[in-house]
Protein backbone atom coordinates (compact mmCIF):
# COMPACT_ATOMS: atom_id res chain seq x y z
CA UNK A 1 0.00 0.00 0.00
CA UNK A 2 1.35 3.43 -0.90
CA UNK A 3 1.59 6.00 1.84
CA UNK A 4 1.29 9.71 1.11
CA UNK A 5 3.50 12.04 3.06
CA UNK A 6 4.19 15.76 2.96
CA UNK A 7 7.84 16.68 2.46
CA UNK A 8 8.78 20.38 2.19
CA UNK A 9 5.18 21.30 1.46
CA UNK A 10 4.86 18.90 -1.48
CA UNK A 11 2.88 15.70 -1.52
CA UNK A 12 4.90 12.61 -2.41
CA UNK A 13 4.10 8.92 -2.45
CA UNK A 14 6.44 6.50 -0.75
CA UNK A 15 6.42 2.79 -1.35
CA UNK A 16 6.17 0.61 1.72
CA UNK A 17 7.92 -2.72 2.03
CA UNK A 18 6.02 -5.54 0.37
CA UNK A 19 4.09 -3.38 -2.05
CA UNK A 20 6.04 -4.17 -5.19
CA UNK A 21 5.01 -7.52 -6.63
CA UNK A 22 8.24 -8.40 -8.40
CA UNK A 23 8.11 -11.67 -10.26
CA UNK A 24 11.41 -11.09 -11.99
CA UNK A 25 9.76 -9.11 -14.79
CA UNK A 26 10.94 -5.69 -13.59
CA UNK A 27 14.52 -6.94 -13.44
CA UNK A 28 14.40 -8.35 -16.97
CA UNK A 29 14.91 -11.98 -15.94
CA UNK A 30 13.48 -14.43 -18.46
CA UNK A 31 11.08 -17.01 -17.08
CA UNK A 32 13.50 -19.86 -17.81
CA UNK A 33 16.13 -18.15 -15.63
CA UNK A 34 13.61 -17.77 -12.80
CA UNK A 35 12.75 -21.48 -13.03
CA UNK A 36 16.44 -22.40 -13.02
CA UNK A 37 17.07 -20.31 -9.90
CA UNK A 38 14.06 -21.83 -8.13
CA UNK A 39 15.14 -25.36 -9.09
CA UNK A 40 18.70 -24.79 -7.85
CA UNK A 41 17.33 -23.41 -4.58
CA UNK A 42 15.13 -26.51 -4.23
CA UNK A 43 18.09 -28.82 -4.92
CA UNK A 44 20.10 -26.97 -2.27
CA UNK A 45 17.31 -27.41 0.26
CA UNK A 46 17.15 -31.15 -0.44
CA UNK A 47 20.91 -31.41 -0.09
CA UNK A 48 20.77 -29.69 3.32
CA UNK A 49 17.89 -31.95 4.40
CA UNK A 50 19.77 -35.10 3.38
CA UNK A 51 22.97 -33.92 5.08
CA UNK A 52 21.03 -33.19 8.28
CA UNK A 53 19.44 -36.65 8.17
CA UNK A 54 22.85 -38.29 7.66
CA UNK A 55 24.40 -36.38 10.57
CA UNK A 56 21.49 -37.33 12.84
CA UNK A 57 21.86 -41.01 11.84
CA UNK A 58 25.60 -41.00 12.56
CA UNK A 59 25.11 -39.27 15.91
CA UNK A 60 22.36 -41.69 16.98
CA UNK A 61 24.55 -44.68 16.08
CA UNK A 62 27.45 -43.24 18.07
CA UNK A 63 25.17 -42.74 21.06
CA UNK A 64 23.98 -46.35 20.87
CA UNK A 65 27.54 -47.67 20.68
CA UNK A 66 28.84 -45.60 23.58
CA UNK A 67 25.91 -46.45 25.89
CA UNK A 68 24.98 -50.11 25.37
CA UNK A 69 21.89 -51.27 27.24
Of 44, 37, 1, residue with least CA distance to 19: 1
pLDDT digits 0-9 by tens, 21-66: 555 455 667 888 888 999 999 999 999 999 999 999 988 887 777 6
Residues whose CB is less than 8 angstroms from the CB of residue 33 and which lie 6 or more positions away in sequence, other chains included: 24
Check if the beta carbon of residue 29 is closer than 8 Å to that of residue 44.
no
Check if the beta carbon of residue 16 is closer than 8 Å to that of residue 2.
yes
Cα(3)–Cα(27) distance, integer angstroms: 24
Cα(30)–Cα(36) distance, integer angstroms: 10
pTM exceeding the 0.85 threshold for the entire prediction = no
Amino acid sequence: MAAEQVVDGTLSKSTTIGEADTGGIEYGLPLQEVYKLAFNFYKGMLLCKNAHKLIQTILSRKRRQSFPL
